[in-house]
Amino acid sequence: MEIVSSRDKIVIVAQRVFGRLGFNKTTMTDIANAAKRGRRTIYTHFKSKEDVYEAVIEKEVGILNEELKNISKENTEAPIRLKHYILRRMITIRNLLNYHEALKKAFFEEHSRFACIRKKFDDKEYAYIHAILRDGIEKGDFINLNEELTVKNIMITIKAFEMPYFKDNYTKDNEKQLNNILDILLFGICQPDMKDKINYNK
């Protein structure tokens, strides 16, 4: 039987409180009342409301990190794994945002508070994508390219699609668009013999 610590119980309750009220309207008293603990007990584990909020968001982002780490290690060809990684990434984040209101509010309404946690997530994601890219280059699935620049550009591309994909008015057309973007990103739109002509005419 898993034993949940007092700190973890506070984080679980705070998820619901932040999700309902948002960061600005939530007070430490709200969290204490919802957790059925005194404010002094809350301050034993957390220095401030900001600390509680960061713990909540990190807990939710941790679920995403674990999912993406597993995908990045799948035993498939690198191009297929990279496309699967990006698709699963978008679906998993969307599901998390729909299920965890605190994370949804952080993502759409509280960008500055989410920035430091987003940076940690981005650093891990960079490592996951880089590992897939390196494996693909070593096995000949990808051409030999600038790894650092390519990973950064892949991340820029998928981030640009986050807002329309995660908003409530999401439709199947968004998914088709994402698949098309990934096909262009991974496989290009030129016939194989066009690559030499393009490079020649640079």
CATH number of the CATH domain containing 163: 1.10.357.10
CA–CA gap between residue 184 and residue 101 (Å, rounded): 33
Asked if residue 179 belongs to a domain, the reply is: yes
The letter for the amino acid at 87 is L
Asked if residue 68 belongs to a domain, the reply is: yes
3-state DSSP assignment of residue 62: helix
Residue that the structure tokens 């880089």 belong to? 130
Asked if residue 198 belongs to a domain, the reply is: no
- Grade residue 126 by pLDDT with cuts at 50, 70 and 90: very high
Q: What is the pLDDT of residues 137-178, one digit of tens each?
A: 998 888 888 999 999 999 998 888 777 777 656 667 777 777
Q: Count structural domains, the chain.
A: 1
Q: For residue 2, is pLDDT > 50?
A: no
Q: What is the pLDDT of residues 43-52, one digit of tens each?
A: 999 999 989 9
Asked if residue 164 belongs to a domain, the reply is: yes
What distance, in Å, lies between the first and last C-alpha atoms of the chain?
64
Q: For residue 120, is pLDDT > 80?
A: yes
According to DSSP, residue 36 is labeled T
Average pLDDT over residues 54-60: 84
What residues make up the domain containing 93? Answer: 50-189
Asked if residue 89 belongs to a domain, the reply is: yes
CA–CA gap between residue 75 and residue 78 (Å, rounded): 9
